[in-house]
Amino acid sequence: MKKKILLQAVMLISFWAAFTPLSAQKSSEKVKIEITEALKTWNEAAKSANVDRCLALFDDSENIMLIGSDKGEINKGKTQAKEWLTQIFGFANFSWEMDSINIDSNGKSAWVFVEGTMIVEFKQGGTKRTPYRFTGILVKKKDEWKWKLFNGSIPRGE
């Protein structure tokens, strides 16, 4: 009787172990797809210089941070973020060619590291392309991924 119970327990554990990684992998891939879509939405909002749309992509708390690549571009909370976005979108639209996207998530929060090129389209004409990196932390709110932290940077020497 003990051998039968032990055998059933081993079989049950083996069955569970065999299929758990597959479902975890599928879940992880689903999250990566969702976050990649959130990155595309962020890119579209910045390219259209839509301040309200950009801010709507951030978490509703006042603990958000939006950090640009220049000295002093550290914005805490929605009020500072809105002021800064209004200022920079006043002279240019921004978008990114995302050559490399790294994402990790626990299902409720995620971090991203993106490397590529920032395209700045100046309102008075002209375009500037620059190597650019950004990192971020996103949190899952209902069915959407929202920015908690965005930190952009131009690699040294660029």
CATH of the domain at 67: 3.10.450.50
pLDDT in tens, 136-149: 999 999 989 999 99
Under 8 Å CB-to-CB from 83, ≥6 apart: which residues?
Answer: 75
The verdict on residue 20 lying in a domain is yes
The total domain count for the chain is 1
Domain that holds residue 146: 2-153
* 1 class by beta-carbon count within 10 Å (0-12 exposed, 13-18 middle, 19+ buried): exposed
Residue range 83-88: mean pLDDT, rounded: 96
Domain assignment present for residue 158? The answer is no
pTM for this predicted structure: 0.79
Q: Higher confidence at residue 4 or residue 91?
A: 91
Q: Indicate whether 74 belongs to any domain.
A: yes
pLDDT band at 107 (very low <50, low <70, confident <90, very high): confident
Can you tell me the mean pLDDT for 81-86? 96
Burial class of residue 36 in the structure, from the number of CB atoms within 10 Å of its CB (0-12 exposed, 13-18 middle, 19+ buried): middle
- Vertex 98: Cα angle to 46 and 57 (nearest 5): 35
